[in-house]
Chains A and B, each alone.
Chain A
Amino acid sequence: MPTIIIDDREIEVAPGTKVIEAAEQLGIMIPRFCYHPALGSVGACRVCAVKFLQGPFKGVQMSCMVDAQDDMVVSTTDKEAVAFRKYVIECLMLHHPHDCPVCDAGGHCLLQDMTVSGGHGIRRYLGKKRTYPDQYLGPLIQHEMNRCIHCYRCSRFYQDFGGYHDLGAMQSANQTYFGRFEEGILESPFSGNLIDICPTGVYTDKPSRYFGRRWDYERSPSLCINCSLGCQTVVSCRYRKVVRQEARLSESVNGHFICDRGRYGFFYNSLAQRPRSCIVDDQTTSVDQALAAVKQKLETFADKDRAQAVACAGSTRNSLETLAMVKHVCQTNRWQPPAYFEDAAATYKLKSAISRLEPDLTVSLREIESADFIAVLGADPLNEAPMLALALRQAQRKGATVAVFDPRPIFLPFEFKHLPANLDMIQTDLGALLNAALEPAALKKLDGSAREFYASLATVKQISAARQAEIVALAELLKASQRPIIVCGTEMVRRQTPALAADYALLMQAAGKSVGLFYVMPGANGFAAGLLADEDVSVETLIAGIEKGSIKMLILVESNPLWQFPDRHRLEQALQQLEVLVVMDYINSEVAQKADIFLPTTTLYETGGVYVNQEGRAQGVKPAYQGGIPIAQTGHGDHPPRVYGTEIPGAEPQAAWQLLAHLIGTGQPLTAEDLRAEIWQWLAKIDSGFKALPCVADIQPQGARFFQAPHAAERFLRERPIGGADNDGQLEVMAVEMTFGTEELSADSACLKALAGSPVIFMYSSDAKQLNLTDGDRVSVELNGGAVEARLQVTANMAAGMLIIPRHKDLDWQKMNTDKTFVHKDQIRKLKD
């Protein structure tokens, strides 16, 4: 452990620590432009110069390029170093334009800070300034190259860290340019991070362009609820509007970065069409009156037998408070148990995944970066949880092998092994890989059920010949791996797959490897919803109940089955059969427009809440602002209204859990704090795992991880499908998630529309050949509920016998059965353009 003295203060640091990092540990911020903890050092900007007074070498050196060593004595305030830095800044400023007033980085610009603090106020250079053309980089990022100081952070992030190659350095010497070869939308779904890392204003946020200055924003820590990973963000609000979201450093979840879906997924919060007032039978009313209307309707179902005719559904975008309250209301009022998921299988898969997450298996997103072998089973990282792809990329950069067992046309921004097979085969393939990789010697210690499980694994010879060679090659790598991780999806896969993934992990653990298990779950609060859900209840069973006539009143709490439920026709029929439909939501969803009674609720940014990510990490956030209609909307684009008053217009919405509390008993409504405390008590009764959950105010920034209460979850399943039957010339239809355009909240972001593109249906190349279809054809697929039309994309990079349909907003894909859907090949027709 080298000990180094910086500015007369001694510090012991880990070997390999750079001097700039050692100084940071002491609280000394050495100026930097090119150095970034996630991107490392390149010594490009020269502004971190310090003077080495004693030690292995002396003189002015770049602190980001020198490892801290024993006997080093460093001064950051030495005259020579200070003068050096000052001249460097002056040189960087030679061509920098005079446009801070119209630059959106002004106010949080590293270059501005350094220029001012370095005392460079007067330009001595009298020559002409170099200028650059700017490029259109898509709807998210504004490009202004004149401001560039050539620190290379953007190209290092974009290419080295992110794995995309359409943005980088061009030209040479004093004319080096950062951009694309041709103008166009950036390919990387992580491009928004360029805004965060650029030390000046070359890349600025386009959707919030010219909205305000950092110093005027109400900034507060927040969470991304656009997928199950729960990345930490910083949200900026101004004039009652969420303006911008940035990544927040989290050592356990997302690191320094977030994806563009998360960064720009907040626009639903401030939309003009966001519902702000209660509606009862198409009449706008107050919250009290709407609640009274709900209570009046409920009176019809007051007695014991009739209470079962009321049902309630939440969703995975509910906060933990709302999820718990939904369940509590249903239990107290003896309604039907609440539904959180579309179908029973989803509930089952999630519950089995949660029950199999154990403390010594579960890994966080950041821990994936240090794995050396990663098997992805039935998950599409980039589309389902984009930041997972970035984490896998980091592992791959460090030498890990990534193998993806998934039928979809998987793309990841790095080199990986894709073994496409249908949903039954993928787990068999992974089993065969384990069988080949684990040495029998190591498995001798196994106890009964584990040994039995091992013996039942398929052998390499049992699987498709096409993949045998690849699996044998991967087995060699897995054999050598010390820290393998299994990443498993829970959405598309078969019922047993999540449990099987855990079994595979346990088997590897038994074989002496330090194993990690990582599930990808649907929705931001899938973990908590899964923990609270009753196994055999889902939206589908509610629909069945309505069809039977046993359910007459439905309360949907921040849930929009019309978005997600695969059989739209059936759902719509059922909704019409209802006597009363109550909807509480903060987005103007389709189902909200059909509601008899509608109550607006608040968003995460207005009331905060606790969300449990897919590894069981509960993260709580406080409100970012007070709520209300944005001033831009109340002022109709012009100045804000010229009235005095303390009331916030449009601030009637309450948190869904506060509204629900009114539906229990007749007691005095509790304050938000007391109600939260009560909710926490109920939670602990439902599952003792929640006992480990600190109350909202005590949740630390890194979150609080908890697990389901230990119980006798069955390890090493006996029943599991092996192989997959041929589908008799049928194609299995899979409705899948995409990075942009399929997630409900981010679908409201106008800026992401262009990135979502138009929907395409994927088909395997030889299947397409059989049907005489080619890439780019418009096709019509006859599903159970009618035809779906879209353009076809033919690819060899997916499993045969599958038809992949994105759940794209612009595609009416909800014409499927709730069970497996197959289409005959003759149900696919080519359409004329």
Chain B
Amino acid sequence: MNDAVEAVKALAIGFATTFKHLFRKPITEEYPEYKRPLPARSRARIILTRDPDGAERCVACYLCSAVCPVSCISMQSAENEDGRRYAQWFRINFARCIYCGLCEEACPTSAIQLTPEFENCENDILALVYEKKNLLVDHQGKDKEYNYYKYAGVATEVGKKGEHVKEERPVNIKSNLP
């Protein structure tokens, strides 16, 4: 009997709650009229950032394309004159992208970043295929500091062997001194 009373009480509370909602102002934000300011880390349109020295951060390591669950990233890596690895072309098919942010998580150089800018619908689906020139921006995005080549240890214009962060001078290979 107690159970039945409890049940009826619970039902009554439920019905009362929904009934009260009838007289509340809806909490819906009506989108095109009101645009809510999004947090910096919300995930929408993808950009390729530059390091603080202004060089492209992307080294075309293929980690983002590997981790992408919908395979919407494709690129071709190549080597430029000073030994840096870079993306000869870099393409994101936003018609396929699900904005999961795994690419950003996988990126070892903070190059690929998601931005809160989400209004990028197009009628022509081909217009959603972004090339490198559409993706590359002139700032550092959320990571203001990092310059991958200062730590990588490979010789580029950022530094020769032994000139990077926490590196000793190169070994003299023709000596037998320890």
* A–B touching in complex (CB under 8 Å): yes
Tell me which of B46-54, B96-104, B167-175 binds A: B167-175
Q: Looking at chain A's contact residues, is the secondary structure mostly helix, strand, loop, or mixed?
A: loop
Q: How far is the CA of A174 from the CA of B173 in the complex (A)?
A: 12
Q: Mark interface residues in A179-191 (1 if CB within 8 Å of B CB, else 0).
A: 1010000000000
Q: Scan residues 26-84 of chain B and give those whose CB is less than 8 A from a CB of chain A.
A: 59-63, 65-66, 74, 76-79
Give the number of chain A interface residues (Cβ < 8 Å).
43
**Which residues of B sit under 8 angstroms from A215, Cβ to Cβ?**
62, 66
Contact A131 B161 (CB under 8 A): yes
Q: Is the CB of A101 within 8 A of B109?
A: yes
Choose one: B89, B170, B174; the contact of A132 (CB below 8 Å).
B170
Closest to B89 in A: A639
**Could you say which of B12-20, B113-121, B148-156 contacts chain A?**
B148-156
Q: Contacts of B89 on A, CB cut-off 8 Å?
A: 635, 638-640
The answer to whether B171 and A131 have CB atoms under 8 Å apart is yes
Determine whether the beta carbon of A171 is less than 8 Å from that of B154.
no
Inter-subunit contact B65/A132 (CB<8 Å): no
Query: Total contacts A to B, CB within 8 angstroms?
Result: 113
**Residue in chain B with minimal CB distance to A127:** B166
Q: Which of A191-225 contact B (CB under 8 A)?
A: 209-213, 215-216
Minimum C-beta distance from A499 to chain B (A)? 54
The answer on a CB contact under 8 Å between A132 and B161 is yes
- Residue pair B168, A216 in contact (C-beta under 8 Å): no
- Residue pair A129, B62 in contact (C-beta under 8 Å): no
Question: Residue A133 contacts which of B65, B108, B170, B175 (CB distance < 8 angstroms)?
Answer: B170
Q: Is the CB of B61 within 8 A of A131?
A: no
**Residues in chain A near residue B152, CB distance under 8 A:** 97-99, 101-102
Q: Which residues of A are found within 8 Å of B74, using beta-carbon distances?
A: 640
B143 CB-CB contact with A under 8 Å:
no
Interface string of A615-644 (1 = CB under 8 A from B): 000000000000000001001011110101
B residues in contact with A97, CB < 8 Å: 152-154
Residues of B contacting A170 in the complex (Cβ-Cβ under 8 angstroms): 173-174
Are A173 and B77 CB-contacts (below 8 A) given A98-B153, A101-B148, A133-B161? no
| Residue from the list B66, B85, B155, B172 in contact with A216, Cβ < 8 A | B66
A596 to B151, CA, bound (A): 60
Which residues of A lie under 8 Å from residue B173 when comparing CB positions? 132-133, 170-171, 175, 177, 179
- CB of A173, distance to nearest CB on chain B (Å): 5
In the complex, what's the smallest C-beta–C-beta distance from A240 to chain B, in angstroms? 12
Q: Does A128 have its Cβ within 8 Å of any Cβ on chain B?
A: yes
Q: Which bracket fits the contact residues of B?
A: 35 or more
Distance of A152 from chain B, by nearest CB (Å): 16
Contact B162 A210 (CB under 8 A): no
- What per-residue 1/0 map shows which CB atoms of A119-143 lie under 8 Å from chain B? 0000000011111111000000000
Q: Does A510 contact B (CB under 8 A)?
A: no
Q: B136 at the A/B interface (Cβ < 8 Å)? A: no
Q: Give the distance to chain B from A137, nearest Cβ to Cβ, in Å.
A: 14
Please name all residues of chain B whose beta carbon is closer than 8 Å to the beta carbon of A127 when the two chains form the complex.
Answer: 166
A666 at the interface (CB under 8 A from B): no
CA distance A436 to B82 in the complex (A): 65
Which of A146, A177, A639 is close to B153, meaning CB atoms less than 8 Å apart?
A146
Contacts of B59 in A (CB 8 A): 101-102
B139 within 8 A of A: no
Q: Which of A133, A212, A213 contacts B171 (CB 8 A)?
A: A133
- The chain A residue with its CB closest to the CB of B126 is A642
Residues of A within 8 A of B62 (CB): 107, 212-213, 215-216
Question: Is A100 part of the contact surface with B, judged by Cβ < 8 Å?
Answer: yes
Known: A131-B168, A133-B170, A639-B91. A210 touches B154 (CB 8 A): no
Task: State the A residues within 8 Å of B (CB).
Answer: 97-102, 106-107, 127-134, 144, 146, 170-175, 177, 179, 181, 209-213, 215-216, 239, 632, 635, 637-640, 642, 644
A sample of 28 cross-chain residue pairs with beta-carbon separation below 8 angstroms, ordered by A number, consists of A98-B151, A99-B152, A101-B61, A101-B85, A101-B152, A102-B85, A106-B61, A128-B167, A131-B170, A132-B161, A132-B170, A132-B171, A132-B173, A133-B170, A146-B154, A171-B171, A172-B176, A174-B178, A179-B173, A209-B79, A210-B60, A210-B79, A212-B77, A215-B62, A215-B66, A639-B89, A639-B91, A639-B131
